[in-house]
A and B are shown apart, each in its own frame.
Chain A
Amino acid sequence: MEHQRWRPTVNERDFIERALQSDLRVDGRRPFDFRRLKILFGREDGSAEVQLGETRVMGYVTAQLVQPYKDRPNEGTLAIFTEFSPMADPAFEPGRPGESAIELGRVIDRGLRESRAVDMESLCVVAGRHVWSVRVDLHILDNGGNLIDTANIAALAALSTFRRPECTVGGDDGQQVTVHDPEVRDPIPLTIHHLPIAVTFAYFGEGNIMVIDPTYKEEAVMGGRMTATINSNGDVCAIQKAGGEGVMSSVIMQCLRIASVKAADITSKIKNEVTSYTSAKALQKVKRLPASVLKKDSVPVVAMKGSADGALETQSTKASSEVQQISKGDEDHQNIKRNSSLTVDRTSKHKQTSKFIGGPSNWDPYSKGVSLSSLRISQLPEPPPTVKDNKQEDVEPMLTECNPEVQSESRLTAGGSDETQAVSPKSLKDAVKPKHKRKKKQHNKS
């Protein structure tokens, strides 16, 4: 049985046109309202599913290294592929792409490529040899009308979250390309200069009535259609007006004004969704940090970390390691307040010195799977000796410049405190000593 595009009944056709005469649309919208836009992101970077009312489109971005075109040796490539599944609409035939599939692909391709929205030159690795070829796959999951706009948003959302693996050029001849694993080096986002948003208008009744974002039924009834691709700055990137009723140039100008307003709305919506997704993604990475730090540190530090968590999470990993170093001083105080005996104090001193080289030890791969709560419980008593040993082992190979200084100082002060205890209660040395040293001395006396 051949499947044609669904045709509306006489009743629907008449009613839709009659309602539009009085600025009413069958789904209760006003003529220049978009349907509800929902953007979802997949687990992997570079995949997005966009819902516009009942229309659903999934975008998926991939990249691979290829040889560039001869005429553009230092530019990457961007290609759009569309997949119209018969599940979305029985009118779509499996296999051969239909007329609408080709039109949709070309309109989106034109909007993205001609406006140079994606920076192509940054996709070049070795000029004339290796460039990144970015491929955008658009899968139509459900056809509820206005596929072009939905697919365009899906493509933009997927491109904005896409990360390509970092690669470096090296080797003997300087032509060897090494692609780094995403686990080793953080993948790089694409450079996107602006977001060209497609806004589709449908014309009814000799071009007098126009609506934005037509539904499936309205598309079946409409006399003509125009898609304007425009960015939030108001630059027109592409216009598609294929057949149908003729439209006055003044109407087109009016359409472009409306489109630029809508484009700004949609751009901010996409950007919000993308930033919330990327920050959630970054948060997932940072969450590992407290667990790995816990294993290495002594008890008071656990408490510190717990309270500082909230602040740490929002920052990047680099920033958090800085914060950790800054907070060292406070930890110092706490350690000494709690531990009354001098020997214990000394061990904690060692721990601190070891922590100064803490940068790399944050990313201890062996402590990833340890849960935070279990660590808290197990480490509440005095730090086990094994942990201490690890510390000292760590210290030896990775000594930084400040490290020996601090260590020697700690030995010196430890010895010095014994002396002062024996000779006299007060000396010039005491006055120079930092505050916590004095406190410690008081403990010794009592």
Chain B
Amino acid sequence: MESRKPPPSALVDNHVVPGDIVLDLTEMINQTIKLGAGLRQDCDTIQATSAGKLRLSKPSKYWIESSQKRYIPSVEDTVLGVVVDTKPDNFLVDIKGPNLAFLPVLAFEGGTRRNIPKFEIGTLIYARVVKANSIMNPELSCMDATGKAAEFGQLKDGYMFETSTGLSRMLLSSPTCPVLEALGKKLSFEIAVGLNGRVWVNAPSPSNVIVVSNAIIKSESLSGIGQRSMVESLLERLS
């Protein structure tokens, strides 16, 4: 296709579909590039294997961002997981991925053999992916890189709902996503967004939780202005 383009690829920040040739390696001698999700090397070319937006992180990290219901774990993502089973060494956690994730019982701040947390099945956990490769179960941790709890851990009360990965990425984007900004002006609530397409919302009254969660679900296909007007009309109807 457009293989004669010099690096960085002209397709950066554009939509690509599977089969698109993203980069031509013959023109990039003595360079190192890192490939992320949705890209594959085929002889001298880099091809897309999934549909979405091509992203480049300077200087040389490429990946494709797409919106889907399933989640492919990748390192340093923050996710919301549900405890499915407890084993002596690990909690088995569902993070909507192809495999269950392991959460070592010691991966908590100040975790020792003595003070293992007790999670019943169905507990919602906010965690960080620390190991992710295709042949092993991913591994989670409830500590940040410095060993602090840093908001990770069990989420109590509130309501959790599922979205697409694209919507959860939009909610985490900066500057703050319009729907959250508009809601935050009128209501007070707590929110935790996992990149695996799960969102947890908590507020003092159940009606606020319902309003916030429905506003977020509806905002998926709306523009910034559309999101603001949708939130305003929703809040007007309530008051």
Contacts and interface: CB of A to CB of B under 8 A. Distances in A.
Interface of A: 7-16, 18-19, 22, 24-28
Given A26-B210, A28-B210, A28-B214, A15 B158 contact: yes
B170 interface: no
Contacts of A18: 206
Interface string B207-224: 101110110000000000
Interface string B192-211: 00000000100000110111
A26 B201 CA distance: 12
B21 interface: no
Contact of B159 (A7, A12, A28): A12
Nearest to A14: B157
A11 B210 contact: no
Interface stretch (B25-33, B36-44, B120-128, B172-180): B120-128
B82 interface: yes
6 contacts: A9-B123, A11-B160, A13-B122, A24-B206, A26-B159, A27-B210
A28 B238 CA distance: 11
B122 A7 contact: yes
A19 B159 CA distance: 10
Contact of B160 (A7, A9, A24, A27): A9
B155 interface: yes
B4 interface: no
Contacts of B157: 11, 14-15
A16 B159 CA distance: 8
Contacts of B210: 19, 24-28
Nearest to A27: B214
A26 B159 CA distance: 9
A11 B124 contact: yes
B122 A26 contact: no
A26 B199 CA distance: 14
Contact of B120 (A10, A14, A15, A25): A10
A9 B206 contact: no
Interface in B122-176: 122-124, 155-161
Contacts of B123: 9-10
Contacts of A14: 157
Q: Kindly list the 3 A-B residue pairs having the minimum CB-CB distance in the complex, ordered from nearest.
A: A19-B206, A15-B159, A10-B122
Given A10-B123, A15-B158, A19-B207, 10 more contacts: A7-B121, A9-B124, A10-B124, A11-B155, A11-B200, A13-B122, A14-B157, A16-B159, A24-B206, A25-B210
A10 B157 CA distance: 8
Contact of B122 (A8, A19, A22, A24): A8
A22 B214 CA distance: 18
Contacts of B159: 11-12, 15-16, 26
Contacts of B156: 11
B206 A15 contact: yes
Contacts of B124: 9-11
Contacts of B214: 27-28
A24 B209 CA distance: 11
Nearest to A8: B122
A393 B228 CA distance: 72
Nearest to A12: B160
B213 A26 contact: yes
A13 B122 CA distance: 9
Contacts of A19: 206-207, 209-210
Contact of B206 (A8, A12, A22): A22
Contacts of B207: 19, 22, 24
A28 B211 CA distance: 7
Nearest to A13: B122
Nearest to B206: A19
Contacts of A10: 120, 122-124
B10 to A, nearest CB: 37
